[in-house]
A = this chain, B = another copy of it.
Amino acid sequence: MSAAAGARTVRTGDKRDRILRAAVKVFARKGFYASRVNEIASAAGVADGTIYLYFKSKDEILTSLFEDRITRLLGLLREECARGEGAPDRVRRLVEFQLGLLEGERDLAEVITVNLRQSSRLLKQYANRRFTEYLDLMASVIAEGQRTGELRDDVSPRIVARALFGGLDGIAMTWALGNGESGGLRRAASQFADVLLDGLRVPVKTG
């Protein structure tokens, strides 16, 4: 009842989006495999059958959730990058913006860092394409900084992008599985960006 009442306050009235947001809560609480479609329906305040008007299966709810959230994330990250001036500023924005998005969204953080990996098949066959797009965006910022001489060029932009993704993922996962303390992510983001950017600086010639 309260979930349905909460959902009714959403102005868009978009049932598909309501179902996806309910799925985030249910997946985070029970895990992907233990979650049942009727629990998602109940949390979204819709009839069980309604789910099947939008999604073929629970698998499709998870892939749609991923597709939806990562498409939105990619759009926001591109805007955030465009606001930056120079590669170091863009890298810092990428780090702080992503961890900032998750602050206050502990359920979503858990779904992205834990539940999404619950289906190796999905991850391999489907998510890989979008995930590559995400890594490409981060690698392109690093590569740009190497071309302009702002960042060291003796490391592979793709390896840095993977480590950058991993660092964000590791920080978000331990935060989501831990106490999810308020302010924790912001502090971590800033320190992670400090270490990463100092590590990516062009080495100063001494002697």
Interface residues of A (CB under 8 A from B): 28, 31, 33-34, 110, 113-115, 117-121, 123-124, 128, 135, 152, 154-156, 159-160, 162-171, 173-174, 177, 187-188, 191-192, 194-201, 203-204
Using Cβ atoms and an 8 Å threshold, which residues of chain B touch A204?
204
Question: Nearest chain-B residue to A172 (Cβ)?
Answer: B166
Q: Given known contacts A166-B169, A170-B170, A171-B166, is B159 in contact with A31 (CB within 8 Å)? A: no
Using Cβ atoms and an 8 Å threshold, which residues of chain B touch A156?
187-188, 191
A78 to chain B: closest CB distance in Å? 21
Inter-chain CA distance A60–B33, complex, in Å, is 17
Inter-chain CA distance A154–B193, complex, in Å, is 12
B203 and A198 within 8 A (CB) = yes
CB < 8 Å: which of B159, B166, B187, B194 contacts A166?
B166
Could you list some 24 contacts between A and B, CB below 8 A? A31-B120, A33-B118, A33-B119, A34-B121, A118-B119, A124-B177, A154-B191, A154-B194, A155-B191, A159-B187, A159-B188, A159-B191, A160-B191, A162-B171, A162-B188, A163-B171, A163-B188, A164-B167, A164-B170, A166-B168, A166-B169, A167-B170, A197-B199, A198-B200
